Amino acid sequence: MAHFLFFLLAIISVGAVLAMIFSKNQAHNALFIILAFLCLGGLFALLDAPFIAVVQIIVYAGAIMVLFIFVIMMINLKEGVPPERKRWTVVLSLLIGIILVIELILAVTGAFAPPQAPGAAELANPSNLGKLLFTEYLYPFEITSILIIAVLVGAIVLVKKKDTE
C-alpha cells in the first residue's frame, strides 16, 4: 500500500513539474506547482510527518502560491512568454543538471544500504514538535519571528506607491 502511494505521488509530482516546464501560460504554471506541492504534502505524510505535511499544504500551497497568483493577476500579461528559444542554453542547462543529479544520487549511494529499522523516534505530533521548538530551537524560532516582521514591513515599504509621483 505504502509503495503504491509513494509511486503514485512521485509520478504525479514529477509530471506536474514537467508540465510546468512545457506550459506557456503563467497561471497554468502556478496551478501545476500547486499540484506538485499537494503531492509533496502527501509524501511528507507517508514519512510520518503529519504536522509538517499539513503545514506544507496550508502555507506553501495555500498561502505562497496564492501570493504568486495574485502577482500574476496584477501583472496581467496579455500573452504568455514562450520558453527559451536559444537551443544551446537549454542543452547546457540540461547537461549541467544531469551532472548535478548524478552527483546527488551518488551522494545518497550510502543510503542504498539495507534499511536499518528506524529506532523508536517520538511521534511527530504537534506537542512533541512544540516541545523541541521552544527548548532546543528557541533561538531560531525567535529570530524567525523577527524575520517575518521585517518581511512584512519590507514588502509594504517596497511596493507602496510614492505620494509625489
Window 55 to 84, contacts with other proteins (CB under 8 A) = 55-56, 59-60, 63-64, 67-68, 71-72, 74-75, 77, 81-84
Q: Which of residues 5-44 bind other proteins (CB under 8 A)?
A: 6, 10, 13-14, 17-18, 20-21, 26, 29-30, 33, 36-37, 40, 43-44
Contact status: 48 vs other proteins (CB under 8 A): yes
What is the chain written as a DSSP string? -HHHHHHHHHHHHHHHHHHHHH---HHHHHHHHHHHHHHHHHHHHHTT-HHHHHHIIIIIIIIIHHHHHHHHHHH--SSPPPPP--HHHHHHHHHHHHHHHHHHHHHGGGGGSPPPPP--PPP--HHHHHHHHHHTTHHHHHHHHHHHHHHHHHHHHHHPPPS--
**Mask for 98-137, x = binds other proteins (CB under 8 A):** xxxx-xxxxxx--xx--xx-xxxxx-x---xx--xx---x
